[in-house]
Structure 1
Amino acid sequence: MQSINLPQLAPNATTTRTTRRKANGPATAALLIQMATEILAASPTLRQKANITLTDLSAADKVRKELLKK
């Protein structure tokens, strides 16, 4: 069995907190649609389990593009 080497933080390493960005609902929804579409397009088994067709994915992509226009 191989051991996994995980990176260790140096004892004196400082972490910086980034400022929280303003939420953008349509952009976030578009990104989630894109991610799901890519996953489902690559997996016929998942599409079958979810009862989603390639036509459904095409329609979802059209919705994603509309969200990005806003």
Structure 2
Amino acid sequence: MSAYGVADADELAILTKALNDYCSKHRIVSADERERIAVKVMCLFKQGLIDPDLLSAELERVG
């Protein structure tokens, strides 16, 4: 993560996969609900969480 909290291309791919995997697993399809989960993913990222396995586990915990 850059000093400004901006994701690079590799990080963005990890974050997108985490969002898509979570939404698919929990059958989330509405745009509003996906956006809510995306905000949680970004909050985790801003806390320094980018490892795919840890990100998914923490998203399950807080999702």
TM (normalized to structure 1)?
0.31
TM (normalized to structure 2)?
0.34
Instruction: Kindly name which structure, 1 or 2, has the bigger radius of gyration based on alpha carbons.
Output: 1
Pick the structure with more helix per residue.
Answer: 2
